[in-house]
Structure 1
Amino acid sequence: MSIIFLTEQLNNMENPKRENRQRVADIVLENQNLFKDLVTIAFKVDDRISIKAAWILEWICTHHHLNWIIPHLDEFTKNISNVIFDSATRPCAKICEHLANAYYSKTTNEIKVSLTENHINKIIETGFDWLITPQKIAVRAYTMNTLYLFGLENDWVHPELKHLIETKIIHESKGCKARGKFILNLIDKKPRH
């Protein structure tokens, strides 16, 4: 199977219904070599097919193999800031949240070993960009969680995140307000050094 076949399958997806995402994900799951092509297509940011590739990338990372992203962390973290379609930003933000959750998990895992300071810094930088630009509620929610977690070891992140939530995000939709208050509560409860 080739990138051409994968591209055809992505183009044939009518919508992001579960069964459509799982059908294309199954093709990649059966041939792991296609995962690299999926990452490449997801970052063809000026082509609308990147949206569908991002859907499948997030589906695989969420429901099957988050560790498959490890060999592609350089490409993923370098390119997430370039994503322009809302429908592709949401899956990228969700993958960032999965990476943060895995990194701060109490159980040993490969993400903890593989995610470098450079990767984390790029995720943080992109996350703040997502919070200061117009984004959907889901992107904001995933990003606030991600930044909260990475802020546990990066002292400057929580004050910046808190400021953004209090001055901007909390005045947006009910969903943003609720998540923002939740994150503020976590920040305020964090033990001081």
Structure 2
Amino acid sequence: MTTEQLYEELNYVNHSREKRLYYANLVLNNPDLVPKLLHILFQVDDKISCRAAWVFEFMCGENLEAIIPHLDYFTEHMHKVHLAPAVRPVAKVCEYITKAYYSKTKNDIQQALTPTHKERIIEVCFDYMINDEKIAPKAYSMNSLYLLGQDYDWIHPELVLILERDFQMQSSGFKARAKQILHKIKKH
């Protein structure tokens, strides 16, 4: 399948779980489609890029290790994503990656994730925290930053500042997640 054909197929992706899963499995069963999917995802001004992001998130949810050959490309370009329906899945994939990296269960992400990848994830997560994003990307970013703070001692104090500063202005969902993260940091 060419990039153009995949682009056309993405027109059929909608919010339904079954459609996202169908296309995620299509990509997983055809690994040569992953770079094409990412290419479409990073056409950041195109609404179809959001659909590519949804499929990419589901693909990573099904088999995160499929991202390994593409970690450089993904982390290098993820900061360009700005349409809200695409930002959420990118933040979720960052959370998947950091959770896998800090998992007690051995996995290939732990070997593949470099300090450069981690720094790019940290940067994009802090951007989501300070920019006017919806609650979901902020919640995923809080969690990623909390985990990454185990290796970078400057992250937790910065995260605490942002959470405390924004606490009163945010939604109840943000407040609930922020309380959890602040509690974990103080326990640490």
> Which residue of structure 1 aligns with residue 60 of structure 2?
61
User: Does 1:11 pair with 2:11?
Assistant: yes
> Partners of 1:76 and 1:169 in 2: how far apart?
31
> What do the CA deviations read for 1:127-155 (whole angstroms, capped 9, x no partner)?
11111111111111100000000011100
Calculate the TM-score normalised by the size of structure 2: 0.97
Which consecutive residues of structure 2, in runs of 5 or more, have no partner in the other structure? none
> Which residue of structure 2 aligns with residue 155 of structure 1?
153
> Which residue of structure 2 aligns with residue 92 of structure 1?
90
For the residue of structure 2 that corresponds to 1:123, the secondary structure is helix
Cα deviation, residue 24, structure 1: 1.7
Matched-pair contact (CA < 8 Å) for 2:54–2:89: yes
Q: 1:60 to 1:41 in 2, by over 3 A?
A: same
Matched-pair contact (CA < 8 Å) for 2:98–2:147: yes
User: Partner amino acid for 2:118?
Assistant: I
> Which residue of structure 2 aligns with residue 138 of structure 1?
136
Taking the TM superposition and a 5 Å limit, the aligned residue runs for 1:3-152 are 3-13=3-13, 15-62=14-61, 64-152=62-150
> What do the CA deviations read for 1:6-60 (whole angstroms, capped 9, x no partner)?
11110233x2211111222232122111111111111111111110000000001
> Partners of 2:149 and 2:157 in 1: how far apart?
9
Matched-pair contact (CA < 8 Å) for 1:60–1:66: yes
Q: Kindly, what percent of the aligned residue pairs are identical?
A: 47
- Aligned-residue CA RMSD (Å): 1.0
Matched-pair contact (CA < 8 Å) for 1:25–1:60: yes
User: Partner amino acid for 2:54?
Assistant: W
Calculate the TM-score normalised by the size of structure 1: 0.94
Cα deviation, residue 170, structure 1: 4.9
Aligned length: 188
For the residue of structure 2 that corresponds to 1:168, the secondary structure is helix
Runs (4+) off by over 6 Å: none
User: Partner amino acid for 2:42?
Assistant: F
**Greater CA drift, 180-189 or 31-40:** 31-40
User: Partner amino acid for 1:153?
Assistant: D
User: Does 1:188 pair with 2:186?
Assistant: yes
Matched-pair contact (CA < 8 Å) for 1:170–1:181: no
For the residue of structure 2 that corresponds to 1:183, the secondary structure is helix
